[in-house]
Amino acid sequence: MRALQPAEVLSCDHRRKEATGRGTVTCIEVAMTRTSTCTYHFILLNWYIFLNFYIPQLGTFFQDSAQSKYLTLLNLLLQAIFFGVACLDDVLKRIKGRKDIRFITAFRDLLFATLAFPICTFVFLAFWTIFLYDRELIYPKVLDGMFPGWLNHAMHSFIFLFSLIEIILRPHHYPPRKTGLTLLAISSVGYISRILWLHSKTGQWVYPVLAKLSPLGLTAFFFLSYFLIASIYLLGERLNQWKWGDRMLPWMKME
């Protein structure tokens, strides 16, 4: 990493003062924050890579394309992709500078805003709500002998915590709301179509809870699920604005 020239240091301090309204944040502190963020992304990238390789080794439960039908497992793959892009963005910024990689930064933010945060939060809320109501509908007790307790929390609890930390560590430029919700709707329809297609082929539902519902109940369930995930999208947008709103100046939107 090259040393900052005096003019660049003054420029950095000036911009940081404008963004924060105070002069106590220096380029050294900014560099330390970026290094910590890069380290965080790298650790989580390896964590999700580990989970994606470890879980399929646990038994025959994960055969027959299980990783493409369970939202929990698709989310783990999605998180690995997101933190991989975030790591790439961190490294290239140090090598090429912010302006040269705007496409990657924009893709990172779009991926987080429209998929990574909404889906992981949905998995967290939906899983634990149904689990606390009747665990047999979502995570039968027989699975306790297959999955250690820490792995259950890795799949269904820590995912939400890590996404909240991501919001705190770095601002994300959200797309226009109509665009974001449209992309989220396309993803949701795609996954619901996958569930229905699998049921038509096998006669079995991916999740036991779906077998308890009538056709009208299924329609209501899927509609409410999208309403929930769309609300989560808006929550992420609001949290990002709450944490970074005053600092989301044009030069920081691709931070």
Instruction: Please say whether the dihedral angle defined by the alpha carbons of residues 155, 159, 111 and 30, taken in this order, is positive or negative.
Output: negative
Q: Identify the segments of the chain with pLDDT beneath 70.
A: 1-32, 59-67, 97-100, 246-255
76: amino acid identity, one letter: L
pLDDT of residue 99: 64
pLDDT of residue 147: 83
pLDDT of residue 200: 92
- Token pair 């079995």 is found at 204
**What angle is formed at CA 115 by the lines to CA 114 and CA 118, rounded to 5 degrees?**
85
pLDDT of residue 2: 46
The pTM is what? 0.83
Helices and strands of the chain, counted as H and E runs: 10, 0
Q: Which tokens sit at 214?
A: 């009538």
Q: Which tokens sit at 141?
A: 């007790």
pLDDT of residue 30: 56
pLDDT of residue 96: 76
Task: Say if residues 103 and 85 touch (Cβ distance below 8 Å).
Answer: no
pLDDT of residue 63: 60
Tens of pLDDT along 205-215? Answer: 989 899 999 99
Residue 45 has a CB neighbour count (10 Å cut-off) of 20
